[in-house]
Structure formats: structure tokens, C-alpha cells
Amino acid sequence: MADVVRGRVLGAAVAHAWRGLAATWREETTFKVQVAVGAAALALSLWLGQGTIVVLVFAALVLGFELLNTALERLADAVHPGHHPAVGAAKDAAAGAALVSAMAALGAGLLVLGPPLLERLARAS
């Protein structure tokens, strides 16, 4: 019986998570852009035959931080709809965390994919 209950709880948790992903996809243009950039980086890594794990890890990191940023923004707006300096600072910090993850992903992508891409382009010309 406990396994059935655990299965239901896990199923409900996964359903809530998918709803959160779907809502973020519908409402956040930045999330769509980050998914597209991650997919392009993944395609490039597969074409080059290098860095696929690095790209997957950093893409997940960026998307995770964007989901957390979105969650914090929505919660802050619900709790305090008007402008408040502390709420604004918290939202800015969360956005900053998302930006740091994106910059780290960009740096890692350039370091891992840049040299093999330049080599491939040099051979093609």
C-alpha cells in the first residue's frame, strides 16, 4: 500500500512540475530563447562530436535558474503586488543568478566548442 501511495505522490509531483514547465514556456519569452539556444548548442556539439555532456549540463543549469527566477518573480508579485524595494531587490538578485548561469554557459560553450568549430571551419575553406 505504501508503494501505491508513494507512486501517487511521485506522479502528482511530476504533474505539478510539468505544469510549471508548460506555464513558464507559455509566459516567458526568455525561457523559449534559452531552450532554442540550448538546442542549437546541443546540435553543434553533436555535429562537432565534442562537448555534448558539457552542453547538456549547462543548458539544464540555465533553464533551472530561469525556472527559479520565474517562480520567485511570480511569488513576489502575488505576495506584494505593488512596488517595494526589498521585493525589487530580491527579483533583481534572482534575475542576476539566471544571468550568471547564462554567462557561465556561454563561456563554457566557447571554450569547449570554439576550438573544434574553428578547426572544422578552417578545414572547410
Give the CA radius of gyration of the chain: 19
pTM above 0.75, yes or no: yes
- Per-residue pLDDT tens, the chain, 125 aa: give them: 566 566 788 889 999 999 999 999 999 999 999 999 999 999 999 999 999 999 999 999 999 999 999 999 999 999 999 999 999 999 999 999 999 999 999 999 999 999 999 999 999 98
Q: What is the C-alpha end-to-end distance of the chain, expressed in Å? A: 66
pLDDT at 125: 86
pLDDT at 52: 98
CA distance 60 to 65: 9
Which residue among the candidates 27, 66, 73, 119 is catalytic per the annotation? 66
Q: If you classify domain 29-124 with CATH, what class do you get?
A: mainly alpha
pLDDT at 9: 85
Catalytic site residue 66? yes
Dihedral over alpha carbons 49, 51, 56, 57 (to 10 degrees): 160
